[in-house]
Amino acid sequence: MIAVIMAGGSGTRFWPRSRERMPKQLLSLVNERSMLQNTIDRLGDLVTPEQVLVVSTATQADAIRQQLSNIPEENIIVEPKGKNTAPCIGLAALYARRRDPDSVMVVLPADHLIEGEEQFRQVLRTGERLARETEALVTIGIKPTYPSTGYGYIQFGDLIEKQGDVEAYRVKTFAEKPTLEVAKRFLNSGDFLWNSGIFIWKTATILQHIEELLPELYNGLMEIDKALGTPEEAEVVNRVYCQIRSVSIDYGVMEHAKNVIVLKATFSWNDLGTWEEVYKISPKDENGNAITGLVVHKDTKNSLIDSPHRLIATLGVEDLVVVDSGDAILICHRDRAQEVRDIVEILRRKGLKEYL
């Protein structure tokens, strides 16, 4: 097995802590380890450091190398520009194929919170076996607990097998992020799962699907493949990537592939997408406040306050997110935490690059 960690996201909903050079996946949001470090740690003995490939952008590469000093430097794959998940996965597949043409890739976002690590590893073991035996594209679905409009969904069909607690199903359809009304229908139907964005497949299988379904991307990847390990590698990767269309693996491949299997997760999963999600998982005081750092508060309720750099005092407020990064402070209502990325866009338009 080769683990491919997608670590190129910008994490704009975690501004002001998340910045271009130190985005969400490089932050320590749930313990002393970063989200990226936790992602690799939970793989345990499934892979060695030599079997881990991390794909990111040039602005984040140095920080990633510092955090992952045990990962060989050549295993940090740098995209010239973020082009969504299909090019990212395709590029990683070229490196994986060179290491082992018969390899199975497990593709993982770098910024998820997962509890129940042994159950997680058991699901990955099952996925690896099914990927080899059936040459299917395997993904992992999460049983929904509420009608989320922030996740994609997977509709499952016939049961293929049940090994212990792990159930494998044929995939019927993929659905993009729905409206609230549609999400409620999905939840009530009982045959929809949240799309975790975790994939398992043979390296040769995903490249075959890219060739069939995304031929333009495949041609670009083959041009890159010829240049890997040569003096022209950097120039070719940069030139080809500038021409590649940005497309997600879900839209470009998964929604059109015929042989797709979904495994029902037996572990706890959270994509930790906003400060509101951090609030939900954080320990709270008797007033429902999740507080870290130097904070004084009175008549403050149900708020997340994070101030590692200086004193923050609150009086007579509730349901707030207050985050101090040293050079900037975010204050917003918890129910608008999804919109923090809009602040980043305003900063970009105003040319305030020092805060990005």
CATH of the domain at 102: 3.90.550.10
Look at residue 78 and tell me whether its pLDDT is greater than 90.
yes
Give the pLDDT band of residue 212 (cuts 50, 70, 90). very high
Please give the pLDDT value at position 10.
80
In this structure, the dihedral spanned by the alpha carbons of residues 13, 6, 74 and 41, taken in order and rounded to 10 degrees, is 90
Please give the pLDDT value at position 9.
81
Residues 336 and 211 in one domain: no
Helix 215-227, helix 233-243: angle, nearest 10: 170
What is the total count of domains within the chain? 2
In sequence order, what are the residues at sequence separation of 6 or more whose Cβ sits closer than 8 angstroms to the Cβ of residue 349? Answer: none
Residues 324 and 239 in one domain: no
Query: Which helix or strand (DSSP H or E) is residue 202 part of?
Result: strand 192-202
Please give the pLDDT value at position 322.
97
Domain boundary among 270, 300, 320: 270
- Tell whether the torsion through CA atoms of 208, 209, 210 and 213 is positive or negative: positive
Please give the pLDDT value at position 309.
87
Residues 201 and 338 in one domain: no
Domain boundary among 270, 289, 307: 270
Residues 167 and 192 in one domain: yes
Looking at every residue in the chain, the average pLDDT score rounds to 94
Please give the pLDDT value at position 340.
95
Domain boundary among 222, 238, 270: 270
What's the number of CA atoms in the CB half-sphere (13 Å) around residue 239? Answer: 8
Question: The whole model's pTM is what?
Answer: 0.91
Question: In 3-state terms, what secondary structure has residue 300?
Answer: coil
- Six token digits for residue 300: 């403050």
Please give the pLDDT value at position 81.
87
Over the stretch 13-49, which tens digit does the pLDDT of each residue have? 999 999 988 889 999 888 889 999 999 999 999 999 9
Over the stretch 298-330, which tens digit does the pLDDT of each residue have? 999 999 999 988 999 999 999 999 999 999 999
Question: In 3-state terms, what secondary structure has residue 136?
Answer: coil
Give the pLDDT band of residue 168 (cuts 50, 70, 90). very high
- Tell whether the torsion through CA atoms of 138, 107, 24 and 295 is positive or negative: positive
Residues 241 and 288 in one domain: no
Range of the domain at 308: 275-355
